[in-house]
């Protein structure tokens, strides 16, 4: 899959722990970019294509010990491959900007830092499923773990859906603390691709910071 070419769109991913506000900020960013005249596709992982959405159901619901780290990583990369082939790459080839709620950094953070899976195993799966393709920009929404879990819990209660997709939220505090450090470590190791955004601020301030970062790093043509 070619990752260059003047007509190719841009691929922006949003990362962060539970309750960081990624879904809200993704929507606000999409609206702003559309106002700039861009064609924008919003999507998510795991999911974003029919096959990947089917795999998502296996990952985000059920008992916390349902899968070990290796199985989870395999499932995530199977979903990711289908998502790329069916949704992301075709949209980029059409010149659309694709905004994705989570991508491969989440696998490294959740299965690597969170569950202790060898990062080289994840890197090997990335090479097979994704190849040399990578996001143009990754926005890491960061906030204290306790605040994020409180937000996530309130969101689940407000939804009234019985927490059908709360499998990761129910994992221990130590797991979520490792996640936060994992995301910050990924951002520090990839400063040209990643930008850390203070997600503890008000939604409006977070949006302003995100939009300023996107416009500085990826000027709209």
Q: Report the binding-site residues.
A: 16-23
The pairing of beta strand 40-44 with beta strand 194-198:
unpaired
List the structure tokens of 198.
């203070």
Cβ atoms within 10 Å, residue 66: 12
Helix (H, G, I), strand (E, B) or coil at 32: helix
Nearest to 149 by CA among 163, 130, 133, 134: 163
Contact 183, 4 (CB under 8 A): no
Helix (H, G, I), strand (E, B) or coil at 4: coil
Instruction: Please report, for residues 13, 28, 74, 94, 109, the alpha-carbon distance to residue 53 in angstroms, rounded to integers and kept in the order given.
Output: 18, 23, 15, 23, 21
Residue 199: CB atoms within 10 A of its CB come to 27
Which helix (H) or strand (E) is 97 found in, with range?
Answer: strand 97-101
Numbered residues of the known binding site for ATP: 16-23
């Amino acid at each position: 899959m070619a990752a260059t070419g003047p007509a190719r769109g841009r691929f922006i991913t949003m990362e962060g722990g539970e309750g960081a506000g990624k879904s809200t900020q993704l929507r606000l960013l999409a609206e702003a970019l559309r106002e700039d005249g861009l064609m924008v596709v919003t999507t998510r992982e795991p999911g974003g294509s029919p096959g990947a959405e089917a795999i998502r159901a296996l990952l985000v619901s059920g008992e916390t010990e349902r899968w070990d780290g290796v199985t989870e990583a395999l499932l995530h990369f199977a979903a990711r491959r289908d998502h790329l082939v069916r949704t992301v790459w075709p949209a980029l080839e059409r010149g659309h900007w694709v905004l994705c709620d989570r991508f491969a950094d989440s696998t490294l953070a959740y299965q690597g830092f969170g569950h202790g899976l060898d990062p080289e195993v994840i890197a090997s799966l990335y090479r097979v499923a994704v190849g040399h393709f990578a996001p143009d920009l990754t926005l890491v929404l960061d906030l204290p773990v306790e605040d994020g879990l409180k937000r996530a819990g309130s969101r689940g209660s407000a939804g009234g859906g019985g927490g059908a997709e709360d499998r990761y939220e129910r994992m221990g505090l130590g797991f979520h603390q490792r996640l936060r450090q994992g995301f910050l470590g990924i951002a520090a190791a990839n400063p040209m691709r990643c930008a850390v955004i203070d997600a503890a601020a008000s939604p409006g301030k977070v949006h302003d910071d995100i939009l300023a970062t996107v416009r500085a790093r990826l000027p709209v043509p």
